[in-house]
Amino acid sequence: MLPMNRPPSTPGEMLLEEFLKPRRISQVDLAARMDVPVQRVNTIVNGKRGITAETAILLSEALDTTPEFWMGLQVDHDLWHALRKRAARKDKGGVAAAHGRRTTWSGTGRRRPA
């Protein structure tokens, strides 16, 4: 379940706070275990890079977790931000309203100008 009033922790926050710090693993050590450049780990920890399926597998092998755990964190983070962005767009009248057009749904499932 997504938190309502705050964004969920990023995968990088979780990685740093729940895995690296308690286990006293450096980013350099984790990168070596994963056989990836340290910059890849660092950009994840700093929230500048998301978790890909490949990275989820590597993290799960290095930290004895599951790829689904890491992918779930990423999906929660992405979904929370997408929902907020969509809500903000709706509050502003949406894209069509911003362009002064009304739209309707056609029988094909695609939008068409009204």
Q: Where are the domains of the chain?
A: 11-93
Alpha-carbon dihedral angle through residues 25, 30, 14, 10, given to the nearest 10 degrees = 150
Q: Whole-prediction pTM value?
A: 0.73
Measure the CA–CA gap between 74 and 59, rounded to whole angstroms: 13
H/E segment holding residue 105: strand 103-105
Q: Find all residues with CB under 8 Å of 27, minimum gap 6, and list them.
A: 20, 38, 41, 42, 45
Asked if pLDDT for residue 70 goes beyond 50, the answer is yes
**pLDDT for position 113:** 56
CATH of domain 11-93: 1.10.260.40
N- to C-terminal Cα separation, the chain: 37
Mean pLDDT of the chain: 85
Place 92 in a pLDDT band, splitting at 50, 70 and 90: confident
How do residues 11-47 score in pLDDT, each as one tens digit?
A: 999 999 999 999 999 999 999 999 999 999 999 999 9
